[in-house]
Amino acid sequence: MAETSIIIIGAGLAGLSTGCYGQMNAYKTKIFELQNKPGGVCVSWKRNGYSFDYAAHNIFGVSTKPTGSLYNQVWQELGALKGTRAYVFDEFVQVEDTDGKVFTVYSDIDKLERHMKELSPADAKLIEGFTKTIRKLSGKDVLGSMSGGIGAKLKMLPLMGSLMKYSKINLKEYAQNFSDPFLKKAIPTIQYDIEEVPVIVPIVFISTLSVGDAGWPIGGSAAFSHNIEKRYIELGGEVHYNSKVTKIIVENDVAKGVQLEDGSEHFADLVISAADGYSTIFGMLNEKYINQFIRSYYQSYSKTQSFGLEIWYGVNRSFSDEPHAMVLFLEQPIKVEGEEKGRLDIEILNFDPTLSPQGKTVIKVNFESTYDYWKELSANQERYRAQKQEIADEVAERLEKRFPGFKKQIEAVDVATPVTVEHWTGGFRGFAQPWPPNEELAKEINKNGVSKTLPGLQNFYMVGQWAGGTYGISTVCLMGRDLIRELCKKDDKPFKVTIA
Ligand SMILES: Cc1cc2nc3c(=O)[nH]c(=O)nc-3n(C[C@H](O)[C@H](O)[C@H](O)COP(=O)(O)OP(=O)(O)OC[C@H]3O[C@@H](n4cnc5c(N)ncnc54)[C@H](O)[C@@H]3O)c2cc1C
């Protein structure tokens, strides 16, 4: 029987993962990517000898020793860490107040409990509840169980009470239970600017860090993405860069292939879009295969987006003894996009020697951002660039206070806005990841994602953060694996995986 051929749109991690598992299962796959390199938003680029990394920070499943977690297995299958290793953080983040008070969210659970109790003896009971849950979850494949079969889900039954309790409350609400004013202020900030995130999210992060199964892949996003691309090519896959898909060719409501910007047409038995959802559904398919749910999803985007504005500095300084992630409360708020911000969320990437010359460090500062603000400015490139420079200068001014001498040590600077993401990956309104939906849509998305298939269109699938309405390096790669497993089931053949 002839191999089923598949065209995949997009060589982000979801597209590459789908390609790898497709090849492992005797599908003949071909990827078209608009950019000139793999990874989508999971990329980095060079500036004056420094590597500025867009996405990776904490990735699940990265232990180089097999841990039995599903994500760890996926990285072995995709060869994502081949020739590299992961750096496991001793802390999740460190929060510093203006008076020098410090709250360190240690990965070592006993140390974290002691430290929190020292900060606030009166909150001992609350702290014990928090750390007890982290202990309970550590070594358990919570994330894998969500995607695994019934067996994996049954294993989680004894943990359901804790999982539910901390899923129903967000960091901002939870912090109010503490009597200590500093913990009250610090706790909402531990997961970047997403204070509405359920407490279970940092709990899962800390519990996974505590057993060494989350961290940073040395080489960062670029190494990670290139490794998966290499695996794809070794498995016989074909990837075409600088190849923007403009149209999905459909005949009688069956997807037949794609048309590229240069006018060329390419045909396959199945088409899978791992590209931005809006441009796929509203652009390449011209809104023909859509329902009210998908339409409402794309109408319900939030005005602001987490990590939408990122500033990198290449700095001639080692920053030894500093944590890898720091929340720095400011004495005087800083104005960003016309809004006052009371703190900086900083990443200090000195633990990865591949990112900067010896003794030097990449520093990254993230802010929530508004697409409309930058889109309007970008109509005048000079003003747009000047505004980016102004923000980078103001942030550097604040960093100078915490790290005297900082400004003079800067050797490279770059700033990415939502418009940058729109330009590079076509991400709708510059969203580098889908937005948190409202409660009504969230229920449906948790069950079926946003658009894994489209109503009325045959031989077509979507995969990745846009299709799932959820994000994460591990999550989107697993989605590729799940899709190919589903196709194998449809084709009545066993789903096979191999280790790289
Ligand atoms: C700032 C930031 C920090 C993050 N930090 C983490 C983290 O620490 N840990 C973690 O697990 N996750 C993190 N994430 C999330 C994670 O990086 C993403 O969810 C994931 O990489 C998305 O992969 P994707 O393949 O679904 O989408 P994308 O990366 O958006 O890939 C889509 C691809 O399709 C291509 N494409 C689009 N249109 C076309 C077209 N017309 N023709 C051809 N190709 C097209 C794009 O160029 C792109 O390559 C972070 C994300 C961001 C933005």
pLDDT in tens, 332-348: 999 999 999 999 999 99
Which residues, at least 6 apart from 319, have a Cβ–Cβ distance to it below 8 Å?
Answer: 348, 350, 361, 363, 403
Closest ligand 1 atom to Cα of 54? 1
Residue 148 pLDDT: 67
pLDDT exceeds cutoff 80 at 155: no
Q: Which two tokens stand for residue 307?
A: 């990590």
Residue 162 pLDDT: 85
Name the closest-CA residue to atom 53, ligand 1: 432
Closest ligand 1 atom to Cα of 14? 25
Confidence of residue 418 (pLDDT cuts 50, 70, 90): very high
The more confidently predicted of residues 386 and 151 is: 386
pLDDT exceeds cutoff 80 at 14: yes
Closest ligand 1 atom to Cα of 260? 42
pLDDT, tens digit (0-9, with 9 covering 90-100), for 467-481: 999 999 999 999 999
Name the closest-CA residue to atom 5, ligand 1: 55
Q: What is the mean pLDDT of the chain?
A: 94
Q: Which of 30, 225, 425 is the best mutation target for the ligand 1 pocket, counting ligand atoms within 8 Å of the beta carbon and taking the most?
A: 425
Residue type at position 499: I
Burial (Cβ within 10 Å: 0-12, 13-18, ≥19) of residue 179: exposed
Name the closest-CA residue to atom 30, ligand 1: 40
Q: What is the mean pLDDT of residues 324-332?
A: 97
The more confidently predicted of residues 10 and 146 is: 10
Confidence of residue 163 (pLDDT cuts 50, 70, 90): confident
CATH class of 5-43+222-300+431-490: alpha beta
CA dihedral 294, 4, 77, 466 (to 10 degrees): -10
Residue 328 pLDDT: 98
Beta strand segments in 395-434, E: 410-416
Q: What is the mean pLDDT of residues 187-204?
A: 91
What is the secondary structure of 29-85 as a DSSP string?
Answer: EEEE-SSSSSBTTS-EEEETTEEEESS-S-EET--SS--S-HHHHHHHHHTTTTT--
Tell me the C-alpha distance between 270 and 263, whole Å: 20
Least confident of 130-139, 145-154, 328-337, 390-399: 145-154
Q: So where are the chain's domains?
A: 5-43+222-300+431-490, 91-211, 304-425
Q: Is there a contact between 344 and 93 (Cβ–Cβ < 8 Å)?
A: no
Report which of 174, 165, 143 is spatially closest to residue 156, judged by C-alpha positions. Answer: 143
Residue 437 pLDDT: 78
Residue 142 pLDDT: 82
Residue 152 pLDDT: 72
Closest ligand 1 atom to Cα of 474? 11
Say how many Å lie between the CA of residue 299 and the centre of ligand 1. Answer: 21
433: alpha, beta or left? (left if phi > 0; alpha if psi -120 to 50):
beta
Phi and psi angles of residue 335, each rounded to the nearest 5 degrees, phi first: -90, 120
Alpha carbon of residue 362 to chain centroid: 19
Tell me the C-alpha distance between 407 and 413, whole Å: 11
Say how many Å lie between the CA of residue 433 and the centre of ligand 1. Answer: 7
pLDDT, tens digit (0-9, with 9 covering 90-100), for 439-451: 888 888 988 999 9
Q: Which two tokens stand for residue 8?
A: 């995949």
Q: Which of 471, 477, 482 is the best mutation target for the ligand 1 pocket, counting ligand atoms within 8 Å of the beta carbon and taking the most?
A: 471
Give how far Cα 112 sits from Cα of 3, 22, 89, 347, Å. 54, 43, 14, 20
Residue 395 pLDDT: 98
Tell me the C-alpha distance between 454 and 461, whole Å: 7
> Is the pTM here over 0.85, yes or no?
yes
pLDDT, tens digit (0-9, with 9 covering 90-100), for 57-96: 889 999 878 888 899 999 999 999 999 889 999 999 999 9
Helix axes 220-234, 13-24, angle to 10 degrees: 30
pLDDT exceeds cutoff 90 at 30: yes
pLDDT, tens digit (0-9, with 9 covering 90-100), for 263-300: 999 999 999 999 999 999 999 999 999 999 999 999 99
Residue 406 pLDDT: 98
Confidence of residue 1 (pLDDT cuts 50, 70, 90): low
Say how many Å lie between the CA of residue 423 and the centre of ligand 1. Answer: 13
Least confident of 56-60, 231-235, 407-411: 56-60
Tell me the C-alpha distance between 407 and 311, whole Å: 14
CATH class of 304-425: alpha beta
Burial (Cβ within 10 Å: 0-12, 13-18, ≥19) of residue 399: buried
- Strand order from edge to edge, sheet including 270-273: 238-240, 28-32, 5-9, 270-273, 460-462
Q: What is the mean pLDDT of residues 39-58?
A: 94
Residue with tokens 């999982």: 163
Measured from the Cβ of residue 386, the count of other Cβ atoms closer than 10 Å reads 12
- Count H helices, E strands: the chain? 20, 20
Name the closest-CA residue to atom 20, ligand 1: 473
pLDDT exceeds cutoff 80 at 307: yes
Q: Which two tokens stand for residue 48?
A: 């004056």
* Site residues for ligand 1, CB cut-off 6 Å: 9-15, 32-35, 40-42, 54-59, 244-245, 274-276, 279, 307, 425-427, 432-433, 464-465, 471-474, 476
Q: What is the mean pLDDT of residues 414-439?
A: 91
pLDDT exceeds cutoff 90 at 43: yes
* Dihedral (CA of 318, 319, 325, 331) sign: negative
Burial (Cβ within 10 Å: 0-12, 13-18, ≥19) of residue 388: buried
pLDDT exceeds cutoff 80 at 151: no
Report which of 441, 386, 379 is spatially closest to residue 415, judged by C-alpha positions. Answer: 386
